[in-house]
Structure 1
């Protein structure tokens, strides 16, 4: 008998926060998708002239979270306000964004800290509403499998 598993984005909960600005709970409303991406390659091979291989194990948990939100959503409005706050605040505030993404039915949690925006999101204006993409770089993303 085949194994069956299920997935629903409505089972995913996320919270994005910044001291001094506040937090926003993401539970599907106004979100098109979220993507967590690690940046650092964990292994590199160096090949010598004789063919011997030196393998390097590389530390690093940095990465990014990309959030695609409906342009009329409260989430997009929050992220626009957060970007404006961080940009106008003292430089020490620039990397104070944190985010927790929980997928309890899959037994996974991502803890993201040291976050800063890549850039202000592009703003589409068309006959039909669109999604707006926000990318936040994080200095540390800890992925926990429960």
Structure 2
């Protein structure tokens, strides 16, 4: 019988920008993150006679949504990075990188040429909330580690 386990504590990540520095995402203030690829890899074209042409489409772009507790140092760091980049020269805007490591699952996800989709919404309620920061990346590579 095959058995496996998962723990978010086994997952770690580093987000960085060459001018602003880096932040290690190792659990503190971290709610979750989701990697989403957006390029459809196949399209089909139907001719008048019913002939189907399938196209294989390249593209590794996508997004990563990071959910951080609104009082966390992670949220504060992301807000600071956003503020820095908004005032910085345009050539710095899409220079964010993110590397996610899940060694127990044998995975590494490398995200490069990232930028903020928008400034995060920030709720103010009776109970603290998670803040969703969505970053767009031009290149997301899903790599497999040999475990």
Q: TM-score, normalised by structure 1?
A: 0.97
Does residue 94 (structure 1) correspond to residue 93 (structure 2)? The answer is yes
* TM-superposition CA deviations, 1:61-92 (whole Å, max 9, x none): 00000001000001000000000011110000
Q: CA deviation at 1:48?
A: 1.1
Which stretch of the first structure deviates more once superposed, 15-24 or 47-56? 47-56
Q: CA deviation at 1:4?
A: 1.2
Does residue 68 (structure 1) correspond to residue 63 (structure 2)? The answer is no
* TM-superposition CA deviations, 1:67-124 (whole Å, max 9, x none): 0100000100000000001111000000010000010000011110000000100111
Distance of 2:51 and 2:144 partners within structure 1: 35
CA RMSD of aligned residues (A): 0.7
Distance of 1:118 and 1:125 partners within structure 2: 22
Distance of 2:81 and 2:142 partners within structure 1: 24
User: 4+ residue runs of structure 1 moved beyond 6 angstroms?
Assistant: none
Distance of 2:96 and 2:8 partners within structure 1: 23
Q: How does 1:81-120 map to 2 (within 5 A)?
A: 81-120=80-119
Q: Give the structure 2 partner of residue 123 of structure 1.
A: 122
Q: TM-score, normalised by structure 2?
A: 0.97
Q: List gaps (5 residues or longer) in structure 2.
A: none
Secondary structure of the structure 2 residue equivalent to 1:15: strand
Q: How does 1:1-146 map to 2 (within 5 A)?
A: 2-146=1-145
